[in-house]
């Protein structure tokens, strides 16, 4: 049964509207690297669907104005990009983050969906613009590889999380590339270098050299460590200092329920002496740190080591963050 043009228009507008409502209302189950990656990738199929709906809309409303069927594809691509751009502009003025890479995903989604549909579109196949079989296969392969490239970061994160879980109770040892996905420097740099110290652990080969920015606080952050710390007694790590004098560093741990206030997390000032420092904190002390509740040791979110004030120089090395 063929649909009337009016019904087609209503259907296409409904599809576009539902896709945009879904984009606006969808909430990530958890604010994690994995779900952010899933959400970013989700722009591609979502705007691919929008581009096909816009293609149908342009073919229905302007079919008598243009004889070249490729013009409808150009219009659909153009308006998909405009909608993607406008949604990010609107998000700039809302609590949601505006991201230029979302626009890139939107455009790539349009390229993939419109490109594939071009190879099966009967309106094109009956004109002198019809693609040869060889070109059709080439277009299909291109959009497949492009889509595969877009989903690769999300698939890679599955492997990253798997390595994180297997390595636990080691949290960060600077020995594995997967750790780069969870360990960051704030207002400074972390260089992975040969460990400048000796310990009883033969597997320690590298350490993280913390380089600061002289202006403001510099920090080392481990985001999304393995979350469940129950069943362990101690959290420990190593700091090796080449400073000639003692220095003080701030340290904090928080769970996913952290409300961003100072008294709702574990806070310590650590005095670092020249040479090797073995830092140990009892798990019970971390658990009881929030003033009005117990920290959820099944859902630890982040670990932060930071300079408490601006410093002219800093020569310290971090290593062997783990539970015992």
Profile the chain (324 residues) by mean pLDDT over runs of 10 residues.
71 85 79 88 92 89 76 91 87 71 90 92 73 89 94 93 94 90 85 82 79 74 95 94 89 93 94 93 96 95 86 83 95
266 and 135 within one domain: no
In the listed set 123, 150, 165, which residue is the last one of a domain according to the structure? Answer: 165
Question: Which residue pairs, CB below 8 angstroms and at least 24 apart, start in 70-73?
Answer: 70/124, 70/129, 73/114, 73/118
Give Cβ neighbours of residue 274 (< 8 Å, ≥ 6 apart). 241, 242, 243, 244, 245, 246
139 and 186 within one domain: no
In the listed set 119, 141, 165, which residue is the last one of a domain according to the structure? Answer: 165
- According to the model, what pLDDT value does residue 195 have? 85
> What would you measure as the largest C-alpha separation in the chain, in angstroms?
84
Range of the structural domain that residue 273 is part of: 171-323
180 and 85 within one domain: no
Give the residue from 160, 220, 148, 233 showing the smallest Cα distance to 188: 220
Judged by DSSP in three states, 184 sits in strand
Strands 234-241 and 247-255, sheet pairing: unpaired
- According to the model, what pLDDT value does residue 128 have? 65
313 and 241 within one domain: yes
For residue 317, the cross-strand partners are 209, 240
The first and second tokens of residue 197, run together, are: 């110290």
- How far, in Å, CA of 40 to CA of 78, rounded? 21
14 and 143 within one domain: yes
196 and 108 within one domain: no
252 and 105 within one domain: no
- According to the model, what pLDDT value does residue 44 have? 92
In the listed set 116, 150, 165, which residue is the last one of a domain according to the structure? Answer: 165
Strands 234-241 and 300-307, sheet pairing: unpaired
For residue 3, give the DSSP letter: P
Give Cβ neighbours of residue 62 (< 8 Å, ≥ 6 apart). 72, 75
94 and 77 within one domain: yes
Q: What is the pTM of this model?
A: 0.83
- According to the model, what pLDDT value does residue 1 have? 45
Give Cβ neighbours of residue 277 (< 8 Å, ≥ 6 apart). 238, 239, 240, 241, 270
The first and second tokens of residue 218, run together, are: 């510099």
157 and 97 within one domain: yes
161 and 175 within one domain: no
């Amino acid at each position: 049964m063929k649909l009337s043009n009016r019904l087609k228009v209503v259907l296409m507008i409904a599809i576009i509207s539902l896709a945009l409502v879904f984009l606006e209302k969808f909430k990530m189950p958890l604010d994690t690297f994995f779900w952010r990656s899933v959400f970013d990738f989700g722009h591609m199929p979502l705007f691919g669907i929008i581009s096909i709906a816009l293609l149908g809309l342009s073919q229905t409303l302007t079919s008598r104005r243009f004889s070249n069927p490729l013009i409808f594809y150009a219009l659909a691509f153009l308006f998909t990009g405009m909608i993607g751009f406008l949604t990010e502009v609107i998000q700039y003025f809302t609590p949601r983050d505006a991201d230029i890479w979302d626009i890139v995903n939107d455009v790539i989604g349009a390229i993939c969906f419109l490109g594939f549909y071009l190879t099966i579109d009967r309106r094109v196949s009956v004109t002198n613009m019809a693609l040869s079989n060889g070109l059709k296969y080439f277009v299909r392969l291109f959009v497949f590889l492009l889509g595969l490239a877009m989903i690769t970061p999300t698939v890679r994160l599955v492997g990253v999380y798997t390595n994180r879980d297997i390595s636990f109770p080691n949290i960060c040892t600077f020995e594995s590339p997967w750790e780069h996905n969870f360990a960051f420097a704030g207002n400074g740099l972390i260089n992975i270098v040969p460990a400048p110290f000796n310990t009883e652990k033969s597997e320690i080969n590298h350490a993280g050299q913390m380089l600061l920015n002289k202006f403001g606080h510099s920090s080392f952050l481990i985001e999304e460590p393995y979350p469940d710390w129950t069943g362990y007694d101690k959290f420990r790590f190593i700091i090796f200092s080449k400073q000639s004098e003692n220095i003080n560093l701030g340290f904090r741990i928080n769970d996913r329920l952290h409300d961003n206030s100072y008294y709702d997390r574990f806070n310590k000032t650590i005095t670092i002496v020249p040479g090797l420092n073995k830092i140990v904190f009892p798990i019970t002390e971390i658990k009881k740190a929030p003033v009005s509740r117990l920290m959820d040791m099944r859902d630890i979110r982040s670990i932060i080591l930071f300079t408490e004030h601006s410093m002219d120089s800093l020569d310290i090395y971090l290593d062997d963050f783990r539970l015992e």
